[in-house]
Amino acid sequence: MGYKQAADGTQIFATRELQLGQAQFLRTDSGTAEMNIDGRATGTPAVMWNGTGIGDTGGDWTVDSGIGSEQAAAMHAGTNGWDTGVAALNDDTRFNQGSDSDVAGTQAELTFWMQPKAFPPGARLKVQWQNLANTVIGADLNINDYVTDMDLDVWQKVSIPIVDFALTADVAKVRLRYRQAAGQHFWFDDVELVPNGGGPYRFRVEAPDAVTRHHLSMMVLVIAAPSSGWNASSFANLAGLVNGVIIRQRRISTSETLWSINSKNNVDLFGRFHPQDDITFADGDLLMGFMLKPGSASVVITDDDVLDVVIRDDLSTLSEMRAYAHFGTEVVT
C-alpha cells in the first residue's frame, strides 16, 4: 500500500501502490555523482584561538565571556587549551573576533579539536554564530551531528561546513552552548576557520516540487577500492578519516538536521549499513554495496526535507563511491 495525507496532516493508507523510483545523490555545486573525491577545504586555515602560551600562535580571537579558563592540561597542541570546567545548564563559551565580518562569503569550514570530559545523558553541545551585538545569526547546530560519538577523554576533530549555519549577515562571535543537561565538561583547542576553496562537498537527493514526496525504501552506498585495503579499522582502503562521512536528512528552510550518521571507519559503516554481495574484479578492486532500510514511511523526502551525504576528507584513493535513494513517489493533491 502507499500513503497519502489527510486534511489534518496525518498519513493514511492509499488504495494504490506508490510508483517506484531511484535517484542518484548529486553534488549540489556541480551536479556530479562521483563521491571518491578530495573533500577537504583547501584554503590555508586561519587560527582563531589556540591558547596564549609560549607554544601557541594565539590567533586574533579572544575568549569573550562564559565559563572556563586557559589551562595547560587542556591543550591538544602547543602549550594551552580551554578548559570549560563543569557547566551548568545553558552556560556558554564565546570566541570573539572583535568586529563583524563576512564569514559566509569567505570561509568554508569552522574546525576545532575537543575532548569531552563529562557528557551526561540528554546533553547537547550546540554551536552558533552571533554578531557584535550578541544577536544570533543563522542556525543553532548540534555538534553530535558532525562527529561519530562523544567518547570521554578522547581528542577528536570537529569540522562544520559554514554553509550549514545558513548565515544571513556578518558575524563576530562563535558561541558554544551547553544545553539540555547540566554537568558537561570539555577541553577545546586549535579553533580555526578554513577559507573557501575545495570542499566540503555536499551530495543531495530531493523531491522535484512541493507536491511530490518520496517515501524512502532503501539507501544504497556503493564503494570500490583495492581489495587488500579492506579491514575492520579502515574506511575501504583508507587508513582512517579525520572527520568522517556524514549521511543525514536536513530541512533546508530551517537548517535543521532531522537525523545524522557519521562514519569514520568500517566498524561504523558495517554497524549502521547492511553489507550486500561483493564483487572482486580482475584488476583486484573489490566492489561492496551497503544498504540502509528505514522503518516503514519513516523517511520522507520533499523539496525541503532532503537527504545529504557530506564529504569533508580525502576519498580520492577509492576507486569509486556513489549513493542512490530508492523510493515510492506520492503526489499530494
> Taking Cα atoms as reference points, which of 2, 3, 27, 29 lies closest to residue 205?
27
First to last CA, the chain: 18
Backbone angles phi, psi at 227, to 5 degrees: -60, -25
Q: Where are the alpha helices (DSSP H) in 75-119?
A: 103-106
Class of domain 3-40+199-331: mainly beta
Say what the pLDDT of residue 8 is.
61
Where do you find CATH 2.60.120.430 in the chain? 46-195
Q: Cα dist. 4→16, 93, 211, 222, 296 in Å?
A: 10, 46, 11, 31, 14
pLDDT at residue 173 is higher than 50: yes
Residue type at 41 in one-letter notation: A
Q: What is the pTM of this model?
A: 0.89
CA distance 237 to 220: 19
pLDDT in tens, 213-252: 999 999 999 999 988 878 777 888 887 889 999 999 999 9
Please, what is the Cα angle at 226 between 220 and 231, to 5 degrees?
75
Look-up: residue for cell 522503518?
Answer: 295
Mean pLDDT of 131-153: 96
Give the fold, CATH level 3, of 46-195: Jelly Rolls (2.60.120)
Residue 181: pLDDT band (50, 70, 90) is very high
Question: Can you give the pLDDT at residue 1?
Answer: 44
Q: What are the tens digits of pLDDT across the range 72-124?
A: 999 999 999 999 999 999 999 999 999 999 999 999 999 999 999 999 999 99
Q: Which of 102, 115, 112, 113 is nearest to 167 (CA)?
A: 102
Of 158, 164, 194, whose CA–CA distance to 176 is shortest? Answer: 158
